[in-house]
Amino acid sequence: MQLTDEQSQIRDVARAFAQREIAPHAADWDRAGGAPRELYRQMADVGLMGVMIDPCWGGSGADFVSYALAMEEISAADGGISNMMAANNSPVAMAIQNSGSEQHKREYLTKLTSGEWLGCFHLTEPHTGSNAAAIRTRAVRDGDEYVLNGHKAFITGGSTADVAMIVAVTDPDAGKRGITTFITPTDNPGYRVIGTESKLGHRTNDTCQVVFEDMRVPASDVLGETGRGLGIALANLSLGRIGVAAQATGGARAAMAAAHSYAREREAFGKPIFEHQAISFTLAEMATQIEAARQLYLHAAQMRDQGLECAREASMAKLFASEMAERVASKAIQIHGGYGFLNDYPVEKIYRDVRVYQIYEGTSEVQKMLISRMLDGMDL
C-alpha cells in the first residue's frame, strides 16, 4: 500500500529514534536485564507512547497504520522495548481513551502519553492463556469500592509500570457478562509482584507474576461499565495481533539486515559469500517473506482505520509474520555460521526475541482455529 505523508513521517521519526537511541544499546540492556526508564520519556517526547491518542490528552492523534509502522521500527531495534511501547499504547491508553471517564483521562492518560507513567495490562492467569473468559480473579463490591483477589501471570511491565488495567470477575454467574475491567495505580497496597520471570528473549522488559490481596479499587475506577470488561479487553485483541505482526516484521528485518551485511563482508572460496547463489537466494527469499508480512499487517491496519471488521486479517497477519520471523532469524544465524550462535553477534539476540511472537496475543494454533472459523466469509 502507498503511505500518506503523515504515515511516512511517523515511520521515519520512529526509525531515526530507534537507530539512534535504542539499537546501539540494545545488546547491553539485554545482558543487564532492562532498559533505562528515561528511555520511555524520550520515546514520549517524539510521540511514541500515545500514537493514536488525541492530542488534547498528549497523544499524536495518528491512525493505526502509523502506529503499526512505528511498532515495526522500534521492534527492529529491540523486541522487549517495543513490547513495553505496545502495552502502554494499546490496550492501556487506548482503552482509557475509548472507555474511561474524564477523570481517568485527566489522571492517567496524560501521564501515559508523556512517559511519566507506564501502563501494564492484567488479563492472563497461570491456568488460562488464550481463553480470556476463564479468568478467576474476583472483584467483590464493598460499598464504594471493589475488593480484588487473584493471580495474574506473564504481565509485561508488571513491576515497572505505574498503572494497571485489570480484568476481573464481578459476577461469577453471568458468564462473559460478569467480567469487569478496572484501572488502578500499581502502588495500591494490595498489588504485589511475586516473581519476575527469567526469559529466553525480551529481556529488556520485565515479565511478572502479580497477585492482588484484598486490593481495594474505588468503584469510580471501573473502566467502562460493570460487566462489560471482557468486551473492552477483546476489542483490543485485533489491534494487538496486528501490532505483533508489525513487531515480528521488524525483528525479521533486523535479522536480515545483519545477515546481508555479514554476507557482503565474509569471504569463502575466494569471494564474499553473498556471491554464492545458495546465500543470495536465501536472502532473496527472506526479503520476500518480510515484505509479504508487512503488506499483510498494513492491510489489516488499514481496514481497522476504515472501520471495517478485520479480525480475520489480523489473525492472518499475526500467524504469517510471527512464524516468518523465526524462519528468517534462523536463516540469518545459518548465514553467519558459527558466529551466529555467539552472543557477540546481533542475530543470536534477535532469534531469542522473535520466538515469543508465535505465543502471545494468541498462539499460532489459536490463530489457525480462528481463521478456519472465518473461511466461510472468504472468496475461495
Q: Which residues are catalytic?
A: 361
* CA-to-CA dists, residue 127 to 102, 136, 137, 166, angstroms: 35, 9, 11, 16
Q: How far is CA 173 from CA 149, 169, 233, in A?
A: 17, 10, 20
Question: What backbone torsions phi and psi does residue 371 show, to the nearest 5 degrees?
Answer: -65, -45
Tell me how far apart the alpha carbons of residues 171 and 169 are, in angstroms, rounded to a whole number: 6
- In whole angstroms, how far apart are CA 367 and each of 121, 291, 362? 21, 20, 6
| AA letter at 199 | K
Contacts 24+ apart (CB under 8 A), 272-281: 273/335, 279/335
Contact of 331 with 259, CB cutoff 8 Å: yes
40 neighbors 49 (Cβ within 8 angstroms): yes
Rounded Cα distance between 241 and 248, Å, is: 10
* CA terminus-to-terminus distance, the chain: 23
Question: What dihedral angle (degrees, nearest 10) is formed by the CA atoms of 284, 287, 289, 294?
Answer: -160
DSSP 125: B
Cα separations (Å) of 259 from 220, 322, 328, 345?
53, 19, 10, 10
CA angle 357, 362, 368 (to 5 degrees): 100
What is the C-alpha separation between 10 and 16, in angstroms, rounded?
A: 10
Query: Which residue's entry shows cell 490496550?
Result: 91
